[in-house]
Amino acid sequence: MPLEKTDALMSLRDLKVEFDTRHGRVTALSGISLDVKPGETLGIVGESGCGKSITALAMMGLVPNPPGHVTGGSIHFQGEDITRARARRMRKLRGGEIAMIFQEPMTSLNPVFTVGDQITEAILLHQDVSRTQAEKQVVELLATVGIPEPAKRAQSYPHQLSGGMRQRVMIAMAISCRPKLLIADEPTTALDVTVQAQIFDLMRDIQREFGVAIVLITHDMGAIAEMTDRVAVMYAGRIIEQGTSDQILDNPLHPYTRGLIGCIPVLGREAAGAEALPPLAEIPGIVPPLHLLGEGCAFAERCQLADDHCRAQRPALEIPALQNGGHPVACHHAGITTRAELPA
C-alpha cells in the first residue's frame, strides 16, 4: 500500500499482529493505523488485553517471535518501513532513535552491573565517543533526570536504588542517545502516587527540553489528561476512538470510552458533611477473549446501545457526521448516549 505523505515521525498503517496460542492463531492487533508527530505525546489507553502493549512492542520491532507474527501492514519511522528492516538496522534504531521505558524498572536493569556502567554501555553502543567521555555524559544525564549526587549514584547497583530512582535511571538511559521517540509502557504503574507524579513531571520536562515525541501506554485516564496531546482508545485489538485528549475526555463518542471515563472514582474536593458519592458507572461483563471474537462489534455484548446491526457488522473507524463536528470513532451509534435516542 502506498504511504500518503505525512509529517508524522512514526506511522502505523493497517498493522496486523497475530499470536499462536492454545486456541490456534489469534489476532492480537487487527489493522491499527496511528501517527506519532514529532514532539507530541500520544496516549494509548485501554484495559489489559486490548493490545496496547503489543502495539508498543511492534513500534520497537520487539514483538516476541515465536509466538507472535507481524502479518500485515507497515510501520514507517522517518519514512523507513521498520517491519521490513534487518535485525542489525533495528538494533541501531532501538536505544538510538527509538527508546523505551518499561513498567518494572527493577527487572529491566541488569542486577550485576552498576547503573553507571549500564548507561555507559548504552552510550558506547550508539555513539562514537570514548569511554571517559561516555562516563562524563552519564553523570550529566543522571543530573538531568533529577538524581541527587549523580557521580556517586552512578556507582550504585540497581537494588540499592528505590523504585522511583530506578525509573529515573531507565529514563536517563533512554534519553542518552537523544531519541526522537520515547515509548513508555505503563511507566508508573509499579510506583507510589507521589513518585508517579515526580516521574510524570520529569517526562514533561524531558519532552520540553529535548523535543522528544512520547507514546504513553496506560490504563489510567488521569495520566492521559495530565500527559497527552492526543489519545487512541483501544479495545480487543482495534482502535475504537481517536482524537485530541480534550475531545476524548470531554466529548467521548464511543460508549466504551464513556464507560471507561465514567467508572473511575474521580477525586474531587467535597464540602464538609457531603453525602456518600453515587454509585460508579459500570461497564458490565468482561473483555471477550480474542479467540472468541465474531463478525460484529467486539463491544456489542457489553454495550447498552447494541442492536442487531452492531452484532452483525463491525463498525469502521471514521469521523461521524455530527452537528458539533467529531473525531474518528468506530461505532454505529456514535454520539448517542442513551437507548432512548436510538433511531427507531
Please give the residues from 267 up to 296 whose contact with another protein meets the rule CB under 8 A. 267-274, 276-277, 279-289, 292-296
Rule CB under 8 A: say whether 83 interacts with another protein: no
Query: From residue 149 to residue 178, what is the string marking binding to another protein with x (rule CB under 8 A)?
Result: -------------x-xx-------------
With CB under 8 A as the contact rule, the residue among 3, 6, 14, 21 that binds another protein is: 21
Rule CB under 8 A: say whether 322 interacts with another protein: no
| CB distance 206 to 175 below 8 Å | yes
Centre a 10 Å sphere on the Cβ of residue 39 and count the other Cβ atoms it contains.
15
Axis crossing angle, helix 115-126 with helix 163-175, rounded to the nearest 10: 20
User: Which lies closer to another protein via its Cβ, residue 93 or residue 283?
Assistant: 283
Given the rule CB under 8 A, which of 1-9, 101-109, 170-178, 219-227 is the region that contacts another protein? Answer: 219-227
Q: How many CA atoms lie within 13 A of 140 on its CB side?
A: 10
Given the rule CB under 8 A, which of 2-10, 52-60, 167-175, 193-201 is the region that contacts another protein? Answer: 193-201
User: Which lies closer to another protein via its Cβ, residue 64 or residue 79?
Assistant: 64
Q: How many CA atoms lie within 13 A of 313 on its CB side?
A: 7
C-alpha cell at 109: 536493569
User: Which lies closer to another protein via its Cβ, residue 79 or residue 325?
Assistant: 325
User: Which lies closer to another protein via its Cβ, residue 266 or residue 322?
Assistant: 266
Task: Give the containing element (helix H, strand E) for 229.
Answer: none
| CB distance 323 to 305 below 8 Å | no
C-alpha cell at 113: 552491573
Query: From residue 233 to residue 272, what is the string marking binding to another protein with x (rule CB under 8 A)?
Result: -----------xxx--x---------xxx-xxxxxxxxxx
Reading across the β-sheet that carries 10-21, which strands appear in turn?
24-36, 10-21, 68-77, 80-81
Dihedral sign for Cα 218, 220, 224, 230, please.
Answer: positive
| Least spacing, CB of residue 243 vs another protein, in Å | 12
Q: What residue type is assigned to position 60 of the chain?
A: M
User: Which lies closer to another protein via its Cβ, residue 119 or residue 300?
Assistant: 300
Rule CB under 8 A: say whether 124 interacts with another protein: no
Given the rule CB under 8 A, which of 75-83, 117-125, 198-206, 330-338 is the region that contacts another protein? Answer: 198-206
| φ and ψ of 193, to 5 deg | -60, -40
Please give the residues from 40 up to 69 whose contact with another protein meets the rule CB under 8 A. 41, 47-48, 66-67
User: Which lies closer to another protein via its Cβ, residue 82 or residue 199?
Assistant: 199
User: Which lies closer to another protein via its Cβ, residue 274 or residue 344?
Assistant: 274
Place of cell 513531571: 201
| φ and ψ of 211, to 5 deg | 65, 25
With CB under 8 A as the contact rule, the residue among 195, 320, 326, 335 that binds another protein is: 195
Radius of gyration of the chain (CA): 22
Per rule CB under 8 A, count of chain residues that contact another protein:
72
